[in-house]
Amino acid sequence: MSLLIKDESPEKLIGEDGKRLDGRDLNELRPIKMEVGVIPNADGSAYIEWGGNKIYAAVYGPREVHPRHDARPDRGILRTFYRMTTFSVSERKRPAPGRREKEISMVIKNAIEPVLFLELYPDSVIEVFIEVISADGGTRCACTAVAILALADAGIPMKGLITAVAAGKVDGKLIIDCSGDEDKSGEADLPCAISWYNNQIALLQFDGIMDLEEFDKSIDQIIEALEKIRKLQEEALKKRYIDVRDHLKNYKPKVVTTNNIEEKIDSNNQQNQNGGDQRE
């Protein structure tokens, strides 16, 4: 029986065999699963499971801006709301959005906004609600990846996808895709997002200590990992379109000919006349 209390920080994060606590190699990603179009009431939505992270993103809009004075006549505005549910971490999280949630909402918005053609939606707002149901390190990266999928599902024109992952340093070794424990007890955490249409960095934050050589090596590992994650994002989007196509295969539109339009107008006129006669 393990005597490790859930929130107790482990002393060593890399074992004698060179593996991490969850059995991964240093440059190995956690299992990632994505699905697009999961919330019927939203204009666009997506879900991601990334290691112990479980996150939904729902997009509403473009729609009217409230309060009206926030509206811009030359372009639409993007709002992002990152929230962690009270039960998403082992110690109950306060329900009110704290400073961390506001910061993460902002960095996700800053990463995504430049790839959207917001100039197509003057006086409108596009809102992205991101709910972390279960958190285990790297949620800002997983949220960025899932938010862009939900926006694509909502049909918002974009220049390209955005993908994110965090590199880190634990027990003096460079790692990719930090888990919650590695994030908390490690020596460095380096979340990074890339915008694929111009291969530019869309998000880069750094917490901890690394020398320049380690930083360079981490960026190389990040790029390698991001290529893999982008493929998963593309597959999730393609699957959504294949699903829609399959659904449409069984859809038989009712053929309306000129004849039945005339019949319908006649019958409507007849009904209106009867109604009118009764009222008189």
Number of residues that this document lists for the chain: 280
CB 127 within 8 A of CB 79: yes
- The span of 34-42, 135-143, 168-176, 253-261 binding ligand CDP (CB under 6 A) equals 135-143
Beta bridge partners of 158: 116
Of 23-31, 37-45, 110-118, 134-142, the window that binds ligand CDP (rule: CB under 6 A) is 134-142
User: Does 182 contact ligand CDP by CB under 6 A?
Assistant: no
The H or E element spanning position 249 is helix 212-249
- Of the two residues 135 and 149, which places its CB atom closer to ligand CDP in the complex? 135
Phi, psi angles (nearest 5°) of residue 141:
-70, -50
CB of 135 to ligand CDP, least distance (A): 4
Q: Quote the DSSP letter at residue 14.
A: B
Contact status: 139 vs ligand CDP (CB under 6 A): yes
CA–CA separation, 273 and 277 (whole Å): 6
CA distances from residue 46 to 72, 168, 174, 244, 265 in whole angstroms, order as listed: 28, 27, 31, 15, 43
CA 99 to chain centroid: 20
Choice from 20, 24, 140, 240 touching ligand CDP (CB under 6 A):
140
Would you count residue 168 as binding ligand CDP (CB under 6 A)?
no
CB of 82 to ligand CDP, least distance (A): 9
**What CA–CA distance (Å, rounded) separates 188 from 196?**
25
Minimum gap (Å) between residue 93 Cβ and ligand CDP: 5
**Residue 89 engages ligand CDP in binding (rule: CB under 6 A):** yes
Q: What are the DSSP E strand ranges found in 85-187?
A: 124-134, 162-170, 173-176
> Rule CB under 6 A: which of 90-109 touch ligand CDP?
93, 100
The site map against ligand CDP for 187-206 (x = CB under 6 A) is --x-x---------------
What distance in Å separates the CA atoms of residue 117 and residue 35, rounded to the nearest whole number? 24
Q: Which of 153, 177, 182, 183 binds ligand CDP (CB under 6 A)?
A: 183
Nearer to ligand CDP, 65 or 188 (CB): 188
- 44-50: strand order across its sheet: 32-36, 44-50, 53-64, 124-134, 77-84
Tokens 């110690």 locate to 91
Quick one: 62 or 180, whose CB is closer to ligand CDP?
A: 180
Tell me the per-residue interface mask from 232 to 271 with ligand CDP, x by CB under 6 A, - otherwise.
Answer: ----------------------------------------
The residues that touch ligand CDP, with contacts defined as CB under 6 A, are 89, 93, 100, 135-140, 180, 183, 189, 191
